[in-house]
Chain A
Amino acid sequence: MVKVKEKAIEGFLIFCSLITVFTTLGIIIVLATETIKFFSEVSIIEFFTGTEWTPLFANKKFGILPLVCGTLLTTLIAISVALPLGLTIAVYLNEYANQKFTAIVKPLLEVLAAIPTVVYGFFALTFVTPLLQQFIPDLSGFNALSAGLVMGIMIIPYISSLSEDALRAVPKSLREAAYGMGSTKLQTAFRVMVPAASSGIVVSIILAISRAIGETMIVAVAAGQEPKFTFNPLTSIETITTYIVQVSMGDVPQNSLEYRTIFSAGMALFIFTFLLNNISFWIKKKFQQKYE
């Protein structure tokens, strides 16, 4: 009797853990089947090399490069904000600040990640863009720059928090050895600690990038809805995620080619983030144990 009970509980636990696996599988299957249907009508070469994306218009073009370009552009801007800031914060908290200060500031920083992204979007649209327009008169109302900057602020905690954890995991002996050799604080931080924690830092950066690529609301609100093959951050662009939002909000008939474009776009996005997450997983596994 007890054995049956145990088995039942065990089965239930397995079932719970499998729910997530099946959800992922389900998403992949739906994406894949719709994407296959999509590519039976659209050439895969055109999809990956075309520079015009107008599937909703009479003259249909299915080149996803403009959307990829918009996605990469905003991500690039975001990372160039978040990486220096996040890393500096992590080093400061770990090497310079006293523990009390760290204990207060770290949770405060993590609040940044808890702000709803739609709020960030409106912050970019109604505050950052007008502010930037004071300096750059040619800036469009919707643009990649302000969306990217604000997205960078949003992902700071991803980098600072995870990097700080990585720095803290570096054995004390390394830091003491550095001081023993007569290094200054700055030298210790950037010549010894950061390289020693590099695997964790790289993982944090990759996770932040994958977060930025999948970010939807900020770019949907502030970056515009004009698929454009450009790396000019001053004009409006459209990201993969924005396009998916745009189509699912409008009344595009289901089972039409237009409708399937969102699955193919979603597939492209999924592959992007999937690869990045796996790379970070691999780096973590391969390099983390070095100092233990």
Chain B
Amino acid sequence: MKKLVVLFSLTVALASCGGKKNQGSGNGLSGEVKIDGSSTVYPLSEAVAEEFRNTEGGVRVTVGESGTGGGFKKFSRAEIDINDASRPIKDEEVELCKQGGVGYIELPVAYDGLAVVVNKENSFVDYLTVEELKKIWEPAAQGKIKTWNQVRASFPNQPINLYGAGTASGTYDYFTEAIVGKAKSSRGDYNASEDDNVLVKGVSSDKNALGFFGLAYYSNNADKLKLVPIDDGNDANGKGAIPPSAETVTNGTYQPLSRPLFIYINAKAADRADVKSFVKFYLDNAASLSKEIGAVALPAEVYPLAQKRFDSKKTGSAFANGKKAVGVNMADLLKAEQ
């Protein structure tokens, strides 16, 4: 019993240690910034929010991840201040915002690239075309495409073992949309996991493996995996097969597996001091933090341009009327808009 009392008081003492508020070097702002949206942007927003809490302890920043679409729904009802988006706003979402009387400021914050990888010991895969990837992953491949030589005749007759994102993951939606042509449409007989580390482990320990996941996870495990360059068959954005890298993702030549990531800010909330200071902090730190969490930073010149766009409170989307976000040079786009 005595022991229990000691243990209990120790726990209480320890627990009370963690409660100190870190006021840091902030401006003593207070308030609450509510963020929701894409699970792909989530790590970046969360990293920024975490850093921000260290300097502005008085401002509460909450980051959710209910998906880009789910986030826009809340955004259009003005329930949140900022929506994370892994694609530009859709026309019907623009309409919803109009109905809710919500103006929005669209800012690009980073790029996201998907890496297609094989085992380190795989010597025959030099590149893959989008067509070949489609052949492997489309629903019709289920139970049929089982060996490498079915993908390309020059590949050996070895089994092909697939590893990919699970259906709950935004990466899955994105990959299927870019490769198969329809989101959420793929074969079902592969190793599916929402945990990218499981996929890394699978591909790195299976010499017949083929997998895909966020570029970040490749960069962190580059010694165990082999990156596959992708040929999209469109010479307009780079000839031949192109491997993903910070450079090819930013200049839009690594297609179709790269895309820009955005934050959308409620125009009314943008007048608030806490939101203002958070967005400034976001744009100042997005470049360094995206490297940390494995996304690809935008070119350095883009962030000041985005800050300008925010300061001038320019609402509306640069991608209205179905303009594609893939392969767009962000700097040119933002300059043209000013």
> CB within 8 Å of B: which residues of A?
52-54, 56-59, 61, 125, 129-130, 133, 137-138, 140-142, 224-228, 235-236, 246, 249-252
Q: What residues of chain B lie closer than 8 Å to A129, measured between beta carbons?
A: 205
A interface: dominant SS? loop
Q: A140-B161, A246-B166, A249-B194 are in contact. Are A227 and B142 (CB under 8 A)?
A: no
User: Other CB < 8 Å A-B pairs besides A61-B188, A141-B205, A142-B202, 12 of them?
Assistant: A52-B142, A56-B167, A56-B192, A57-B167, A58-B185, A129-B205, A138-B207, A140-B202, A224-B202, A225-B192, A235-B161, A249-B194
Taking Cβ atoms with an 8 Å cutoff, the residues of B that contact A are 139, 142-143, 159, 161-162, 166-169, 182, 184-194, 198, 201-209
Q: Give Cα A133–Cα B206 distance, bound, in whole angstroms.
A: 9
Structural contact, A140 and B206, CB atoms closer than 8 A: yes
Cβ contact within 8 Å between A250 and B209? no
> In this complex, what residue of B is CB-closest to A237?
B191
Q: Tell me how far the C-beta of B160 lies from the nearest C-beta in chain A, rounded to whole angstroms.
A: 11
- The answer to whether A57 touches B139, judged by C-beta atoms less than 8 angstroms apart, is yes
User: Known interface pairs A140-B161, A235-B161. Does A251 touch B189 (Cβ–Cβ under 8 Å)?
Assistant: no
Give the distance in Å from the alpha carbon of A54 to the alpha carbon of B188 in the complex: 5
A227 touches B189 (CB 8 A): yes
CB distance from A49 to the nearest CB of B (A): 16
- In the complex, the chain A residue whose C-beta lies closest to that of B143 is A52
Q: Are B201 and A250 in contact (CB under 8 A)?
A: no
Please give, as numbers and ranges, the residues of chain A lying within 8 Å of B206 by CB-CB distance. 140-142
A54-B189, A225-B192, A228-B189 known; A141+B168 contact, CB < 8 A? no
B188 and A52 contacting across the interface, CB-CB below 8 Å: yes
Q: How far is the CA of A130 from the CA of B224 in the complex (A)?
A: 14
CA distance A61 to B191 in the complex (A): 16
Residue of B nearest to A139 (CB): B206
CA distance A58 to B166 in the complex (A): 12
A61 to B169, CA, bound (A): 20
Work out how many contacts link A and B, with CB atoms closer than 8 A.
86
Separation of A56 and B168 alpha carbons in the complex (Å): 9
Residues in A whose Cβ lies below 8 Å from that of B203 = 141
CB-CB < 8 A to B187: which residues of A?
A: 54, 57
* Chain B nearest CB, measured from A281 CB (Å): 38
**Contact call A141/B204, Cβ cutoff below 8 A:** yes
Q: How far is the CB of A238 from chain B (nearest CB, A)?
A: 9
Q: How far is the CA of A57 from the CA of B172 in the complex (A)?
A: 11
A52 touches B189 (CB 8 A): yes
6 A-B pairs (CB sep. < 8 Å): A58-B184, A140-B161, A140-B209, A141-B202, A224-B191, A226-B191
A56 and B173 alpha carbons, distance in the complex (Å): 13
Q: Which residue from chain A places its CB closest to the CB of B201 in the assembled complex?
A: A141
Least CB distance, A150 to chain B, in whole angstroms: 16
Q: Compute how far the CA of A141 lies from the CA of B187 in the bound complex, rounded to whole angstroms.
A: 21
Task: Let me know if B193 and A225 touch, CB within 8 A.
Answer: yes
A59 touches B142 (CB 8 A): yes
In the bound complex, CA of A57 to CA of B189 (Å): 10
Enumerate chain A residues within 8 angstroms of B198, measured Cβ to Cβ: 225
Beta-carbon contact of A251 and B139 below 8 Å: no
Measured between beta carbons, the chain A residues less than 8 angstroms from B191 are 142, 224-226, 236
Q: Which residue of B lies closest to A222 (CB)?
A: B201
Residues of B within 8 A of A130 (CB): 205
Residue numbers in B under 8 Å from A140 (CB-CB): 161, 202, 205-206, 208-209
For residue A212, give the distance in angstroms from its CB to the closest CB of chain B: 22
> Chain A contacts of B166 at CB under 8 A?
56, 225, 246, 250
Nearest residue in A to B185 (C-beta to C-beta)? A58
Residues of B within 8 A of A225 (CB): 166, 191-193, 198
CA distance A241 to B309 in the complex (A): 51
A226 contacts across to B, CB distance below 8 A: 162, 189-192
Residues of chain B lying within 8 A (CB to CB) of residue A53: 188
Residues of A near B201 (CB, < 8 A) are: 125, 141-142
Among all A-B residue pairs, the 3 with the closest Cβ atoms: A54-B188, A141-B205, A250-B168
Bound-state CA distance A97–B126 (Å) is 61
Residue in A closest to B195 when the chains form the complex, CB atoms: A249
Task: Compute how far the CA of A61 lies from the CA of B204 in the bound complex, rounded to whole angstroms.
Answer: 30
CB contacts (< 8 Å) of A250 on chain B: these are: 166-169, 194
Residue of A whose beta carbon sits closest to that of B139: A59
Nearest chain B CB to A135 CB, angstrom units: 14
> A232: shortest Cβ distance to chain B, in Å?
10
A81 CB, nearest partner CB in chain B, Å: 22
Closest to B176 in A: A58
Complex-state Cα separation, A111 to B50, whole angstroms: 42
Residues of B within 8 A of A59 (CB): 139, 142, 185, 188
The interface residues of chain B lying within 8 Å CB-to-CB of A56 are: 166-168, 188, 192
Residues of chain B contacted by A228 (CB below 8 angstroms): 189
B159: chain A residues at CB < 8 Å are: 235
How long is the Cα–Cα vector from A221 to B184 in the complex, in angstroms? 25
CA A53 – CA B143 in complex, angstroms? 11
B197 smallest CB distance to A (angstroms): 11
A58 touches B139 (CB 8 A): yes
Please tell me which one of the listed residues B184, B186, B190, B209 contacts residue A141 in the complex, with CB atoms under 8 A apart: B209
CB distance from B324 to the nearest CB of A (A): 24
In the complex, which residues of chain B have a beta carbon less than 8 angstroms from the beta carbon of A249? 194
Tell me the bound Cα distance from A236 to B162 in angstroms.
10
Given that A125-B201, A226-B192, A235-B161 are contacting pairs, would A57 and B186 also be in contact in the complex, using a CB cutoff of 8 Å? yes
In whole Å, how far is A58's beta carbon from the nearest beta carbon of chain B?
5
From B168, B188, B208, name the one whose CB has the most chain A CB atoms within 10 angstroms: B188
Interface contact A54-B142, CB-CB below 8 Å = yes
Chain A min CB distance to B25 (Å): 38
Shortest A88–chain B CB gap in Å is: 32
